Amino acid sequence: MSDFTIRFWGVRGSLPCPGPATKRYGGNTPCVEVRCGGRLLILDGGTGLRELGDALVQDGGIIDADLLLTHCHYDHVIGIPFFAPFFLPQHRFRMWAGNLLPDFQLKPVMQAMMSEPLFPIGIDSFKAHIDYRDFRAGETVIQDSDLTVRTIMLDHPGGATGYRIDYRGRSVAYLTDNEGRREDHDKALVAFSKGADLVIYDTTYTEAEIDEKKGWGHSTWQDGMRLAVAAGAKTFCLFHHAPEHDDAAMDALLAEARSARPGTIAAIEGEIIRL
């Protein structure tokens, strides 16, 4: 059985939206657990990160992991102060951000998010060993014999980093938050996603909604699917669901997307994909 797995802990964009109308797809904001053999990578630290943290602590053992942030908009980082392993001294993390330089740096941004009057405790409350790493999207951030993590700048206000994880001949591209419809950049994203087994993409808006949301930095499943098809990607996955799109709306969107390309999936909280 494959030891390359993806598990969704948060699939929602912009704002958490718990409640009966969203309980099948989930209401937590972005957090995706990626396991490559014994290696743990975490994509984004939205509200889904809290439950992942509790599960990791429950599992026991020493955690040594990479937390790869697309960017620091609240929906992608608000789970960080509630990530239990950060409060335990035996664990080690590398936290990465590729969109902040040269104007900002990750550690002071985290410090600002966790400071009065916005938050009661500071990052000095974290007891784990945390290495805050700034890089420039486009760089390869991890490369060893089995595993490569490459990055690309996405089209989003303030920038965001797209990640491609290649492990033993299989690959996933995580491309959220991205507006697109800029020819050169779309081409670069196609090249970046070439032949990926799974493309997880920002499908916040419907075609009916997107014209009113120009400049907000999000996309539609149609744009994402065009990219995935051009890249020859195997499976396309809807992600960063709008809080307004309840389970019934998501069922309808997924049905539309599936009729355009059979095999398309939508990210659902708690689901595990084996690559």
Enumerate binding residues for Zn ion (CB under 5 A).
13, 73, 75, 177
Report, in Å, the least distance between residue 189 CB and Zn ion. Answer: 16
The distance in angstroms from the start CA to the end CA of the chain is 10
- For Zn ion, which is the closer residue by CB, 197 or 209? 209
Which position has the token pair 């239990």?
84
Q: Measured from the CB of residue 94, what is the shortest distance to Zn ion in angstroms?
A: 22
Closest contact distance (angstroms) between CB of 76 and Zn ion is 6
> Smaller CB distance to Zn ion: residue 62 or 214?
214
Q: Closest approach of Cβ 70 to Zn ion, in Å?
A: 7
Task: Please report, as a single letter, which amino acid is at residue 223.
Answer: D
Extract long-range pairs of 186-189: CB within 8 Å, 24+ residues apart.
186/227, 188/152, 189/152, 189/154, 189/162, 189/227, 189/231
Residue type, 113: M
**With respect to Zn ion, which residue has the nearer C-beta, 63 or 69?**
69
Quick one: 197 or 244, whose CB is closer to Zn ion? 244
- Nearest 5°: the CA angle 21, 27, 32 is 145
Nearer Cβ to Zn ion (243/270): 243
The encoded tokens of residue 260 equal: 């355009």
Residue nearest to Zn ion (CB): 73
d(CA 196, CA 213): 29
Q: Report, in Å, the least distance between residue 156 CB and Zn ion.
A: 6
